[in-house]
Amino acid sequence: MATPTAVRQINEARALARLANQGPMSRADLARDLGLTRSTASSIVASLLEAGSVLETNEPDPDRANKTGRPAIFLRLNPDHAVFLGAELGARCVRLCALDFRGEMRELRERHVEISSPEPTVMVQMLAEMVDDFVASLTDRSVVRGMNVSVPGVVNLAGEVLRAPPLGWKHVPLKDMLSDRLAPLPVMTLMNDADAFAAAALEIHGGRSLRDAVLMLMEDGVGGCILSDGQILKGSQGFAGEIGHMPIGGTGFCNITGIDGAFENYTARRAILARFREQGGEADRLGDFLTRLQNGDTVALAVVQEWAAYLGKGMALLTTLLNPTSIILGGRVSLLFPYGQSECLASLQRRLLPETTLPSIELSKIGPEGTAIGAALMLHNETFALP
């Protein structure tokens, strides 16, 4: 049997979650939504006001336009009550995002990585300097609840980066390194960048439309996240969703992972540029390739059709195994999709049984900062989960 203290904590968490999801509410509306008596709700609200997590406001009710009498006092989350940090350690950029208690952007900072395959200690120091600088700008440093960090690689549940090909890392105890450098600020979770991307996608695209979906983050490698019934599938060791490592046959345009025929050997940025150069094209950056594509370069157009065919082949495998309603493409490489959409869909469809319903293929609405935002969102959302 739950104790009175436990019941109270649960009701406080429910109240905070409702205000986070619904916005400002009157005491009466909050009590009604939670199924509580007004006296119980008032006691809960009093505790939240005392803790500083909730504020009273005269924010007008849009439904009161034609009503008379004294307007209700509304309750809303106090944005300054807590700060949640999310970081991305990428091959080309380090980003730091700070969200307030309402989940709104408070700060976004970034620094470019000037060297290839940077040492872990260099990246840790770079991020730590950004965190130190941000925390120093706060009036009350205790409001920082912690930080989640994403990396483009395989991360185990202990926070060790087993391999991150875009960074050139293997077996890096990154969470411990960050925790030692940033103490006493808690580093909560080290995660794959695609999982962080998925958290941002759920927020921006809408959770209902992504209950059963596959998200691809296409950059220097190809990361993936599988959503089943709205939940991220982790697997027994936390490795689920490494779709870039799926073997789809052949060898690839280049070997990124050390696995012959891995999906990202055909579809990641490095693979596309390698194939373009092999066919006589000249481009050192994806932006250069995209410019040639936009200008009608015949070699670039041929390469993007090859890329799209392999993209469709990988999607067919995912569709057969997972039966998603949608596949969301994100990252810089996804900008190529409109040029190869027809070939991709044809490649996908011819590898499926006739009765199979095709998933919708969508380009993500998330910008390059989405991974850092998603990492912070995951930490923010955990605060409003029921105990």
CATH topology of domain 207-363: Nucleotidyltransferase; domain 5 (3.30.420)
For residue 288, give both structure tokens: 């250069």
81-197+370-383 and 207-363 have identical folds: yes
CATH topology of domain 4-77: Arc Repressor Mutant, subunit A (1.10.10)
Residue type, 158: A
**Angle (deg, nearest 10), helices 27-34 and 4-22:** 120
Is 196 within 8 Å of 86 (Cβ atoms)? yes
Collapsed DSSP state (helix, strand, coil) of residue 258: coil
- pLDDT for the residue 191: 92
Distance CA 111, CA 95 (A): 7
| Domain spans in the chain, listed from the N-terminal domain onward | 4-77, 81-197+370-383, 207-363
Angle at alpha carbon of residue 182, lines to 181 and 186, rounded to 5°: 130
**Angle (deg, nearest 10), helices 286-294 and 269-278:** 60
Which ranges of the chain have pLDDT less than 70? 1-2, 59-71, 206-209, 387
For the domain spanning 81-197+370-383, the CATH number is 3.30.420.40
- pLDDT for the residue 58: 80
- pLDDT for the residue 2: 61
- pLDDT for the residue 254: 94
Collapsed DSSP state (helix, strand, coil) of residue 91: coil
Distance CA 262, CA 251 (A): 7
Does residue 184 have a cis peptide bond before it, meaning omega lies within 30 degrees of 0?
yes
DSSP letters spanning 312-377: HHHHHHHHHHH--SEEEEESGGGGGHHHHHHHHHHHHHTTS-TTPPPPEEEE----TTHHHHHHHH
Q: Compute CA distances 314 → 260, 303, 356, whole Å.
A: 15, 17, 16
- pLDDT for the residue 331: 92
